Structure 1
Amino acid sequence: MDGKVYKSTGSWYVVKTPDGVAWNARLKGLFKLDGITSTNPLAVGDEVELEPESEEEQTAIISAIHARHNYINRQSPSHRMQHHIVAANIDQSLLVVTLKEPRTSQGFIDRWLVTCEAYHVPAILLFNKSDLYRHKEEQRFEEWKAMYEAVGYRLIRMSVHTGEGLDEVKSLLQGKISLLSGHSGVGKSSFLNALFPDWQLKTQSVSGWSGKGIHTTTFAEMFDLPGSGQVIDTPGMREFGLVDITKQELSGYFPEMRALAGQCQFNNCLHLGEPGCAVKKAVEEGSIAQHRYISYCTILDSITSPHS
């Protein structure tokens, strides 16, 4: 029978069948996963085939994994040379961003957007805690809103405390499989609780003076939404490392640079100091935001070699 992975705890998986029954399942002992180099062979959102083991205890064996139509991955926090699949088979990815308590950096946002572009997953930015905005945050929000909307990304300003933006996000989630990401402490669990009060997910406030949140979600987990659709809640991330993206490919994942593809004098232009560079010209003329270009250069610099 077919099922979908709702939760992974490493060796055991919660798999739900179309009739809504949840099974505790494990991978078949001699199961070979060809070509999978990630730290987790199975991810939340994967569609699998189950062989019931015990009807009484609701246990089963996962005997096959169906092909993924997409996934989001990141550099494994514990194994720098490996990647970790965050979730598979998703319709959209929502990043919860905060401008204070804690502050999300533009570098983190842009790395996440690059990954969404690389795996063809539509990305939406949710700017939470708008009730905390003062003049400085209002200014930064307006700047970032203009910058990201000009590139084609959707931004939603919201506050769990005042309810701002919640209805808009709620309608976005209906009928879709959505991945929810962000730093620890940005309010993902509070946001889900506000949208769906019956859940009451465990939340903790940002800890102490450091502004670093306590990890409240240990493993990614999928939840069924009232009505239709699912949302995948992920553990809070301190950083987001790119994998499998080369220096030559990177500009193709910045939509404003991709639009100028083929206009540079050199085919292998990295848009740094090469003559006849259309991207550098666009930055000088203001049609590409300087902050986005700086972000591109920083990410480019972090990619170790042209072929890795």
Structure 2
Amino acid sequence: MTQLDQYGWLHYSHSCTSIEIPQDLTVGRIVSIKGFKYYTRTEQSEMECDLSGRLLYLTPTDHPKIGDWVTLMVYDTTGYIISVLPRYNALSRRNPGTTAERQLLAANVDAALVVQGLDRDFNIMRLERYLVQLAACDVPALVVLNKADLVDDTQPYIDAVQNLGRQVPVLCCSTHTGMGMRALQDELLLPGHTYVLIGSSGVGKSSLLNALLDEAQQATSTTSDANQKGRHTTTTRDLFRLPNGGLLIDTPGMREFGVTGSGETSSEDLFPVIHTLAAHCRFTDCRHLDEQGCAVLAALHDGTLPDAVYDSYLKLKKEMRRFEIDVSEKKRLNKQFGKIAREAKNHRKRFKY
């Protein structure tokens, strides 16, 4: 197996068949980003790279991300990234502090491990938020309930996840006792496939990574004694190769995980329980708010649909709609500004001043 195949090239090339690599360029995968430096794994070695001039002027979403495959020009031990190869998916969230921008977290991901701790971090609505955004990004999800040794019975937590109706695998584990770790590595993480760890601070992502690597690769930290919230111990995004041949991207803890527009993803994938009930609504354009003959509201009233699931649906749909409106408004303003700029330029040409 070649070095590139060890980092997922074989799987990637099967997923993106229309790839053309110029003969004078080298292929590599982004395995770490630190500031403005990109660390790329090529067939020969890992090297530090800079962006070429053309890439510098692209939008941030078009810059290389962890997991991206790129072409580069090599000079001795340094490389210059020329282009980013097509992505078969990309994990994103709403950029914190903004209303209409996406922040790309990782690219070419086969599944995301959504980690929640069973100490004080378990929050079913936060988990729902992660799962909705992953569906919008076309990234399959695996739910990992960590710190399972801290609770007497894990079944209520498993039931809470399954009641969301999303048909996602759920695994309880503990890095302290080793519970579930063998199943995670041998049954869920496949060789040559790329996974990403996501979750809030303090859920034990770095401890999970260390256990899978069987070494203290990432620093770990306890939760704060003052507020019982997790501390940030991972500050960069890095791609690691596991002993079983799987590839795992570690990310910093995220206190915000804003959802974005659904794009081409159907509501069936984003909200499967609501979509199934909506098929029995009286009106095909039912909003599931106060319409007569609404099957969703009927299920809510008779207890078939949990209140928490319905409330989460309304909140996330509103948030996604707001994001889509803001993006549309931003495009309209940019188009309007462009028109004004063109008119001003033509005016200067006409009167030559």
TM-score, structure 2 normalization: 0.76
1:16 counterpart residue number: 41
2:190 counterpart residue number: 174
The answer to whether the 8 Å contact 1:104/1:183 transfers is no
Secondary structure at 2:195's aligned position in 1?
strand
1:185 counterpart residue number: 202
2:69 counterpart residue number: 47
Secondary structure at 1:30's aligned position in 2?
helix
Q: Are residues 71 and 79 of structure 1, via their aligned partners in 2, closer, same or farther at CA, if it must alter by over 3 Å? A: same
Letter in 1 for 2:247: Q
Write the distance in 1 (CA, Å) between the matches of 2:207 and 2:258: 26
User: 1:276 Cα deviation (Å)?
Assistant: 2.5
Q: Are residues 5 and 78 of structure 1, via their aligned partners in 2, closer, same or farther at CA, if it must alter by over 3 Å? A: farther
Secondary structure at 1:151's aligned position in 2?
coil
Larger Cα-atom Rg: 2
1:259 counterpart residue number: 276
Secondary structure at 2:299's aligned position in 1?
helix
User: 1:217 Cα deviation (Å)?
Assistant: 1.1
Gaps of 5+ in 2: 1-25, 326-353
Write the distance in 2 (CA, Å) between the matches of 1:266 and 1:202: 54
1:157 counterpart residue number: 172
User: 1:129 Cα deviation (Å)?
Assistant: 0.7
User: 1:32 Cα deviation (Å)?
Assistant: 6.7
Structure holding more helix per residue: 2
The answer to whether the 8 Å contact 1:158/1:165 transfers is yes
The reply on whether 1:132 has 2:150 as its aligned counterpart is yes
Gaps of 5+ in 1: none
Q: 1:237 aligns with which of 254, 268, 271?
A: 254
User: 1:303 Cα deviation (Å)?
Assistant: 4.0
Q: Are residues 42 and 264 of structure 1, via their aligned partners in 2, closer, same or farther at CA, if it must alter by over 3 Å? A: farther
Q: 1:113 aligns with which of 118, 131, 140?
A: 131
The reply on whether 1:297 has 2:311 as its aligned counterpart is no
Provide the identity percentage: 33
Write the distance in 1 (CA, Å) between the matches of 2:236 and 2:100: 21
Write the distance in 1 (CA, Å) between the matches of 2:181 and 2:269: 33
Write the distance in 2 (CA, Å) between the matches of 1:305 and 1:190: 36
User: 1:292 Cα deviation (Å)?
Assistant: 1.5
User: 1:250 Cα deviation (Å)?
Assistant: 5.4
Write the distance in 2 (CA, Å) between the matches of 1:60 and 1:94: 32
2:85 counterpart residue number: 66
Write the distance in 2 (CA, Å) between the matches of 1:284 and 1:251: 22
Describe how 1:279-290 pairs up with structure 2 within 5 A: 279-290=296-307
Letter in 1 for 2:52: K
1:88 counterpart residue number: 107
User: 1:289 Cα deviation (Å)?
Assistant: 3.4
User: 1:162 Cα deviation (Å)?
Assistant: 1.3
The answer to whether the 8 Å contact 2:218/2:234 transfers is no
The reply on whether 1:216 has 2:241 as its aligned counterpart is no
Note the alpha carbon deviations across 1:182-231, whole angstroms, 9 max, x for none: 11111111112122223432111112221122211112110011131200
| Number of equivalences | 297
User: 1:125 Cα deviation (Å)?
Assistant: 0.7
1:268 counterpart residue number: 285
TM-score, structure 1 normalization: 0.87
Q: What's the Cα RMSD here?
A: 2.5
User: 1:163 Cα deviation (Å)?
Assistant: 1.1
Note the alpha carbon deviations across 1:236-261, whole angstroms, 9 max, x for none: 01121012248x96565012223345
